[in-house]
Amino acid sequence: MVRFRGPAMRLSINQAGVTNTPHVEDLCANDNAKFQEEFAELPKLLHDLATSDADLPWNRSKNRFTNIKPYNNNRVKLLSEPGVPGSDYINASFVSGYLCPNEFIATQGPLPGTVADFWRMIWETRSRTIAMLTQCFEKGRIRCHQYWPEDNKPVTVFGDIVITKLTEDVFPDWTVRVLKVERHGDYMVVKHFNYTSWPEHGVPESSTTLIQFVKSIRATRGHDNTTIVVHCSAGVGRTGVFIALDHLVQHVSDHDFVDIYGLVAELRSERMCMVQNLAQYMFLHQSTMDLLSSKGNSQSVWFVNYSALEKMDSLDAME
């Protein structure tokens, strides 16, 4: 089970170089009291959306955590194998991008028994980009089963899919691998971006490298409009932050407002518990201000929470 907790540290927001942040200033007051209140108001999941497919007897062992399940309505469905119950199931959800519906697949880190299913999903959706936000081992625990070839073994077989590592480039905060995926005499090439400087349940020390990571993936895709597969360990915390940040990088370039509360609520309507804890929620605000600060003071963007404003309007109307 995923435990919803934040890192033991004092959280703060640096607003230097950014104007029009009264909402953020209010959230930060009294040791982030309203930040905590606002985050606590976010529903972890939508109770009217069923997750029963994940609880079927033949699917339970495929879930890394018992309390993180895809909604039935937007789960990724694999092609069924005749006579194999649950062969269409993987703990993965389609998630909308900034402009495109189903631009992302948010999923858990593969288990030993689901690696072949993971590669089936890549193959069947023709996804050519994977963003991995965890390391296979963290704090002495396995967070994700390695699903690409070991350094001393350039080719690995998972089910009927053959994976060959063509290249690997290691940078200070992430690694980029180019993988050849072969099946039934056909093949495709997949780029694997592995961010390695992100502690589980926490946030990177600086937003700068993660923003660069998000932008580099977006830039290398060019005109590729296939689905981007994103995962950490559970597929909700770091995964949610990555997808939200990709939204925000694009949003602030052509809007004069940003509603991070509304964005996270929208993501959680597609996969439960996205952006898992307060530290990650505050990190999105800090990242957005860092984005704006890097553009200079020529751009003025208002931070708002439209959901809270609507509640206030409703109360005013009742008086």
Domain count, the chain: 1
Structure tokens at 128: 């050519």
- Nearest 5°: CA angle at 66, between 65 and 71? 95
Q: Is residue 2 part of a domain?
A: no
Whether the pLDDT of residue 219 is over 80: the answer is: yes
Whether the pLDDT of residue 28 is over 70: the answer is: yes
Q: Is residue 165 part of a domain?
A: yes
Q: Is residue 209 part of a domain?
A: yes
User: How much is the pLDDT for 8?
Assistant: 35
Q: Encode pLDDT of 166-211 as tens digits.
A: 999 999 999 999 999 999 999 999 999 999 999 877 799 889 999 9
pLDDT bin (cut points 50, 70, 90) of residue 315 is very low
Mean of the per-residue pLDDT values of the chain: 88
pTM above 0.95, yes or no: no
Tell me the CB-side half-sphere exposure of residue 59, using CA atoms within 13 A. Answer: 22
Q: Is residue 6 part of a domain?
A: no
The question of whether 273 is a catalytic residue gets the answer no
Q: Is residue 16 part of a domain?
A: no
Q: What is the mean pLDDT of residues 221-229?
A: 92
**For 52, which DSSP code?**
G
Pairing between β-strand 186-195 and β-strand 257-258 as defined by DSSP bridges: unpaired
Alpha helices in the chain (DSSP H): 22-41, 115-125, 207-221, 237-251, 260-268, 278-294, 306-318
3-class state of residue 152 by DSSP: coil
User: How much is the pLDDT for 5?
Assistant: 43
**For 55, which DSSP code?**
G
Whether the pLDDT of residue 264 is over 70: the answer is: yes
Name the residue range of residue 279's domain: 22-318
Among 12, 229, 6, CA closest to 130: 229
Q: Which of 13-22, 31-40, 121-130, 252-261 is the most confident on average?
A: 121-130
User: How much is the pLDDT for 34?
Assistant: 83
Q: Encode pLDDT of 85-104 as tens digits.
A: 999 999 999 999 999 999 99
Q: Would you say the C-alpha torsion 148, 190, 212, 105 has a positive or negative sign? A: negative
d(CA 109, CA 163): 17
Name 235's Cβ contacts closer than 8 Å, sequence gap at least 6: 68, 91, 92, 93, 106, 107, 108, 109, 271
Q: Is residue 15 part of a domain?
A: no
Contact call for residues 198 and 204 (beta carbons, < 8 A): yes
Residue 26 is part of a domain; what is its CATH number? 3.90.190.10
Phi and psi at residue 16, to the nearest 5°: -60, 135
Q: Is residue 3 part of a domain?
A: no
pLDDT bin (cut points 50, 70, 90) of residue 222 is confident
Q: Encode pLDDT of 143-175 as tens digits.
A: 999 999 998 888 999 999 999 999 999 999 999
Rg value, the chain, Cα = 20
Q: Please tell me which residue in 28, 144, 232, 273 is annotated as part of the active site.
A: 232
Q: Is residue 12 part of a domain?
A: no
